[in-house]
Amino acid sequence: MVCPERGCYHHAGISGLTASVAYVQTLFNPFLHDDIPAIIKNPDVQGKTTFIEIFRNDFWGNSILSSTSHKSYRPLTIAVFRLLHRCFGNWPVPYHATNITLHALVTSLFTIFCQRSVFPHMANSSHVSLICGILFALHPIHTEAVCCVVGCAELLAAFLFMTTSLMCSNFLSHSKESKPINKEAVESQNVDKITLGVGLRRRTKNNLDCKIKEPKILETENDKPYLPNTCNIFIILLTSALAVLCKESGLSVLGVVIVHECVVQYESLQTKKTSRLIWIIRCFTYVTWVFIVLIFRLWVMGWSQPIFAEPDNPAAHCDDRLTR
C-alpha cells in the first residue's frame, strides 16, 4: 500500500506517540474491576485448562454453552492474555503496556486512513489527518478501553478494524495510481509527435507531406479497468473474521467495507475503471461473509441468547422503551 503523501507515516508516528504519552501514566495501574475475573480468576488465562478450551469457553472462562454464560466469545483476546501470563505471570505492567501499544497502533492507522480515504483531495490533507489523529488519540471515549486490561478486546478489534479499512481503501488508491512516462526518453526523441504505438514516422524538411498514421497511445493504469487483487479481498475477509474473534463489535467493519463498495467505488463504476460484474461479485462476497460469520457466532453460542442479570445490563431491564 503506497501512501499518497510523503509525510503520511511521519504524521502517523506523531499521532501514535501522542497516544502513548497520553496513557503512559496507566502503565503501573493494578488489575481493577473486570480485570480480576477475566484474568486473575480465569482458568483459561492462568493456564489451568488446555489451549483448545479457549475456543470452547466464553471470555470469563465458563463454558459458552452454559445457561449462565454471557456468550462473550473472544478467544483471540484470551489467547493474548494467556501468552502474557505465560511470559510475565500476573504482573499488570505488561498487560497495560500491550493496551497502550495497541492504542498507539490504532491511532497511527486511523491517521493514515484519514489521509488516504477521508481527505485525499485536500491540499493540506497530511496536516488535517494529523489533527484528526491527535484528537482520536486524546478523545476521552478511549479511556476505559486503554486503562482497563479487559479493554484489550476492543483495542485488538479496533486494530483489525483499521487494518481491514485500510485494505479496502487500498482498492481506491490503487485504481487512481498511474505509472509516469519517462520524460527524459521522450525529450531525447527529435520528433514533432511522440507516440507509443505503431506507425511512427519522423517528419523532416524533405517529407513534410508524408502521412503519419493515427498514433495508438498505450494505456496507463488509469485507463485500464480496475481489477482488485484477490489476495486483498482474502485479507479483508480474514481480518474481519479475526476482529469478531477479538470482540463481537468487530463485525461492524464488514458494514464499512460494504458501504465503501457501494459509495466510494461508485465513482470507479461511472468512469469504467471497475468492471460492473467484478463489483457485484465483491459485494456479494462481502454480504455472504457477513451471514457466514453471524451463523458461526450463533452456532458457537448454541443458538441461544445470553441472559443478563440486572446489575450486568441495567438498560435491558429498564421499563422505559426509549432507554432500552
Determine the pLDDT at residue 204: 42
The Cα 70–Cα 59 span in angstroms is 8
Hey, how many other C-beta atoms are within 10 angstroms of the C-beta on 205? 5
The Cα 36–Cα 49 span in angstroms is 18
Residue 58, SS3 per DSSP: coil
pLDDT at 283 over 80: yes
Confidence of residue 270 (pLDDT cuts 50, 70, 90): low
From residue 31, how far is each of 37, 81, 149, 232 by CA, in Å?
10, 13, 7, 39
Determine the pLDDT at residue 271: 59
pLDDT at 188 over 70: no
Query: Are 166 and 110 in contact, with CB atoms under 8 Å apart?
Result: no
The Cα 290–Cα 300 span in angstroms is 15
Give residue-wise pLDDT tens across range 153-182. Answer: 999 999 999 998 888 776 545 544 444 444
Query: Are 39 and 81 in contact, with CB atoms under 8 Å apart?
Result: yes
Determine the pLDDT at residue 13: 87
Determine the pLDDT at residue 80: 94
